Chains A and B, each alone.
Chain A
């Protein structure tokens, strides 16, 4: 087990494009860190640079106290689980798991012992003598993990290990991975494009965009205090609503109403409030809307209550998603359009946009009717429309 330290790690291809740009990342001993980002953000490349399957163009990679930049994968003592498992089809499950030990010339009885222990942990004991071709997807996944854990390596590396499994199995294997990582306490780096996986598994999450680390923090902090628009839009499902706003002193004008920033938010913006009017992008999580009928009288003044038509409702039993149309979204279209492109999201064009609001399931709002919706002003996020940086960031936990 060991810590992994990256300083200015860069991957530059022959044609000059940079897949990973000067990444600084410290992964503590025993920590579970997830690299997350949309496809093409360089997360897999970064992982492959850690394990040694990609050359490091620039920067320094340390595992424990050793610089490993020029070490071959076999000398780095890391174990990797590939996206497609990469099991050796000509070997039985037992020999697949024993493979790294055999290469390390571990004595036979020790190999048997370790493989059987790992098989017991992974519930593979009955399948030890089968070939990978005769296993289900979930079992193959376990064998791949077994091959990693028998070695007791310095770190586990996972490259989108669950993306080939169906939804049910994915949830099951997710808990399995969490359990095994806890049991062995091995430093783990895990790559995924699925922010739910990242949020549920990680001690810390590193969000990447186009090869640049946007923010590294605990899932809670990423969610509550995103550093910029990209992180705000990427983390959370359904994702944060991003709407244009005009900020004048402490009064904020939104396409569907105006409100005075509550003191907590205003204070973070700096006092005295800046003079003049400025454009901002306002981020509102779906759950910070509520059906105004269900909001107590005492709470109402701390937020904005507005009337809106409701386009569509999705009732899920425990909660309810309402889709509210609004106009005036085009003001910041360019910035958000690019963001949507990066996030692989659909972005409605034209000047009519939609808010997603998560309301209490008991709400009586109905489709194609107007309703009073309340917005919790204390929980809004503000972003600079030019740089995308967060303004008045909520404090980190």
Chain B
């Protein structure tokens, strides 16, 4: 905030938009600033309250689940101990991690090549290909679950890792291609040509110059794909039947409590918190890599 705005706040008057070093915030009147802060607080609270509630549930013993208190009266890590010892959570967690990572890796590699071709080459049917990819991404998965179930049973893909990786790729690739193509288009073509003149093959130019510069895009699409796979429930519940390939979102539906007469609410809440953590960690790690302006200084700026 500029000095002018601060002064205006003190005497409670509206200011004219500050001249010179004007930032977006500085040109607003003090009233707007307060509204902005309140708005932010409301949205953050609205978004995070359910998470907070689940965290609270996960710390409550089964008898306290219905007590309606945000702060657990008898907080314990009982539920976490339960899910990690019962075996009905650990194996799905391994499945989730494995399937999501493999899908992400394959999708990003394939998408990088595809997006590069789309961004750089002019080939017949390019528009058709791009709009087709987009159409697939928008296709309602529910409508293909039935046929897919039958095909998977017939081909032996049912209840296997590849059985989930394949449909995930189908829906993740278009997203990744679109994201990456947008990033590749931003990279000046001159850089590739410079690399070629410097003695690089097209592949070397791609790997040593273009790809490092497109890294923010690669990370962005990796996160999108990973979250998509990690959170999927529909395919996971329909195309698996045992712990051989069942992922966490599907597995939590099959949780059993210590007694048949109690809902496993606490365990489900604990599992939800546990599976949220990798996502948060991943976003926090990659957020640092998603720096805008990585291409600064390449060409005349």
- A residues contacting B by CB (< 8 A) are 51-53, 72-74, 78-80, 82-90, 99-100, 103-104, 131-135, 137, 140, 147, 151, 164
Partner of B200, one of A74, A133, A164: A74
Q: A74-B201, A103-B204 are in contact. Are A87 and B298 (CB under 8 A)?
A: yes
* Number of A-B pairs, beta carbon distance below 8 Å: 84
Q: A100-B199, A103-B200, A104-B199 are in contact. Are A140 and B190 (CB under 8 A)?
A: no
The answer to whether B190 and A131 touch across the interface, beta carbons within 8 angstroms, is: no
Tell me, in angstroms, the Cα distance from A80 to B188 when the chains sit together: 16
The answer to whether A86 and B200 touch across the interface, beta carbons within 8 angstroms, is: no
Residues of chain B with a CB closer than 8 A to A88's CB: 191, 194-195, 209, 298
Partner of A133, one of B196, B197, B204, B297: B297
Query: Does B295 sit at the interface, judged by CB under 8 A?
Result: yes
Instruction: Count B-side interface residues using an 8 Å CB cutoff.
Output: 25
The answer to whether A82 and B198 touch across the interface, beta carbons within 8 angstroms, is: no
Interface pairs A-B: 8 shortest CB-CB: A133-B297, A132-B297, A84-B299, A86-B194, A100-B198, A86-B190, A89-B298, A133-B296
Min Cβ gap A160→B in Å is 11
Partner of A86, one of B188, B199, B201, B296: B188
Tell me, in angstroms, the Cα distance from A118 to B299 when the chains sit together: 21
Residues of chain B with a CB closer than 8 A to A133's CB: 296-297, 301
The answer to whether A74 and B298 touch across the interface, beta carbons within 8 angstroms, is: no
Residues of chain B with a CB closer than 8 A to A99's CB: 195, 198, 208
Question: Residues 170-192 of chain B: 1 if any A CB is under 8 Å from the residue's CB, otherwise 0?
Answer: 00000000000000000010110
Min Cβ gap A2→B in Å is 16
Residues of chain B with a CB closer than 8 A to A82's CB: 190, 193-194, 299
The answer to whether B297 and A103 touch across the interface, beta carbons within 8 angstroms, is: no
Q: A74-B201, A134-B297, A140-B297 are in contact. Are A86 and B196 (CB under 8 A)?
A: no
Partner of A135, one of B190, B200, B213, B297: B297
The answer to whether B297 and A89 touch across the interface, beta carbons within 8 angstroms, is: yes
Query: Does B288 sit at the interface, judged by CB under 8 A?
Result: no
A-B residue pairs in contact (CB < 8 Å), sample of 28: A51-B197, A53-B196, A74-B199, A74-B201, A79-B197, A82-B190, A82-B193, A82-B194, A84-B188, A85-B299, A86-B190, A86-B191, A86-B193, A88-B194, A88-B209, A89-B294, A89-B295, A89-B297, A89-B298, A90-B212, A99-B195, A99-B198, A100-B199, A103-B204, A132-B297, A133-B296, A147-B194, A151-B198
Min Cβ gap B236→A in Å is 38
- B residues contacting A by CB (< 8 A) are 188, 190-191, 193-201, 204, 208-209, 212-213, 294-301
Q: A80-B194, A84-B188 are in contact. Are A131 and B199 (CB under 8 A)?
A: no
Residues of chain A with a CB closer than 8 A to B188's CB: 84, 86
Residues of chain A with a CB closer than 8 A to B294's CB: 89-90
Min Cβ gap B222→A in Å is 18
* Residue from A88, A99, A132 having most chain B Cβ neighbours under 10 A: A88
Residues of chain B with a CB closer than 8 A to A89's CB: 213, 294-298
Partner of B298, one of A72, A132, A134, A137: A132
Q: In chain B, what residue has the closest Cβ to A164? A: B300
Residues of chain A with a CB closer than 8 A to B198's CB: 74, 79, 99-100, 103, 147, 151
Q: In chain A, what residue has the closest Cβ to B301? A: A133
Tell me, in angstroms, the Cα distance from A95 to B208 when the chains sit together: 12
Residues of chain B with a CB closer than 8 A to A151's CB: 198-199
Extra contacts besides A82-B194, A90-B212 (17): CB < 8 Å: A53-B196, A72-B201, A73-B196, A74-B200, A74-B201, A79-B198, A82-B193, A84-B299, A86-B191, A86-B299, A87-B297, A88-B209, A89-B213, A99-B195, A100-B199, A103-B204, A132-B298
Tell me, in angstroms, the Cα distance from A132 to B208 when the chains sit together: 16
Tell me, in angstroms, the Cα distance from A360 to B193 when the chains sit together: 50
Residues of chain B with a CB closer than 8 A to A80's CB: 194, 197
Partner of B197, one of A73, A87, A137: A73
Tell me, in angstroms, the Cα distance from A54 to B129 when the chains sit together: 27
Tell me, in angstroms, the Cα distance from A147 to B298 when the chains sit together: 14
Q: A80-B194, A84-B190 are in contact. Are A137 and B300 (CB under 8 A)?
A: yes
Q: In chain A, what residue has the closest Cβ to B193? A: A53
Min Cβ gap B301→A in Å is 8
Q: In chain A, what residue has the closest Cβ to B201? A: A74
Residues of chain B with a CB closer than 8 A to A85's CB: 298-300
Tell me, in angstroms, the Cα distance from A85 to B188 when the chains sit together: 11
Min Cβ gap B271→A in Å is 41
Tell me, in angstroms, the Cα distance from A204 to B193 when the chains sit together: 27
Tell me, in angstroms, the Cα distance from A89 to B210 when the chains sit together: 10
Residues of chain B with a CB closer than 8 A to A79's CB: 197-198
